[in-house]
């Protein structure tokens, strides 16, 4: 599996918006699949933070909805294939202190969550499937 050019460009743009250097973590000493997972997670966290204009949710703030995407990996799907077996399904939200993806990967609205899940399926696939 690879990170797409579209996701890389979005990460660089998000870094610029947030005033960050577009530096990826040095994962050279890690097993390649774990390095890819950490890189994808970092990139997605920065992209989502930029989409939220820098607003980071406090997971203990129960007055703020936290939207997170749900994906489906169809039976027989092979990770990294272009067959479309990994797909966005829906967005969920919670007022409570729990999240399935972590507060940094939650969006401000259902629409933002859906758009992010559809725009960066490669990052979500790497993070969700945690493939070798």
Tell me the average pLDDT across 74-82: 68
pLDDT digits (tens, 9 = 90+) for 36-64: 999 999 999 999 999 988 777 676 777 77
pTM score of the predicted model: 0.82
**6-45 pLDDT, tens digit each:** 999 999 999 999 999 999 999 999 999 999 999 999 999 9
Instruction: Locate the domains of the chain by residue range.
Output: 5-129
95-119 tens-digit pLDDT = 444 455 566 788 888 888 889 988 9
Ordered DSSP codes for 70-117: EEEE-TT--TT-SSS-EEEEEEEEESSS--SS-GGG-BSSHHHHHHHH
* Residues 5, 120 contacting (CB under 8 angstroms): no
- 86: pLDDT strictly greater than 90: no
């Amino acid at each position: 599996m690879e990170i797409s050019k579209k996701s890389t460009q979005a990460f660089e743009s998000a870094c610029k918006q947030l005033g960050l250097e577009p530096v990826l973590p040095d994962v050279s000493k890690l097993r390649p699949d774990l390095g890819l997972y950490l890189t994808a997670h970092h990139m997605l966290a920065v992209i989502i933070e930029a989409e939220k204009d820098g607003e980071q949710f406090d997971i203990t703030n129960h007055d703020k909805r936290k939207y997170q995407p749900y994906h489906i990996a169809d039976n027989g799907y092979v990770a990294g294939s272009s067959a479309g077996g990994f797909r966005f399904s829906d967005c969920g939200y919670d007022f409570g202190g729990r999240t399935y993806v972590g507060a940094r990967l939650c969006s401000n609205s259902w629409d933002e969550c859906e758009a992010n899940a559809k725009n960066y399926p490669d990052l979500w696939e790497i993070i969700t499937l945690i493939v070798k």
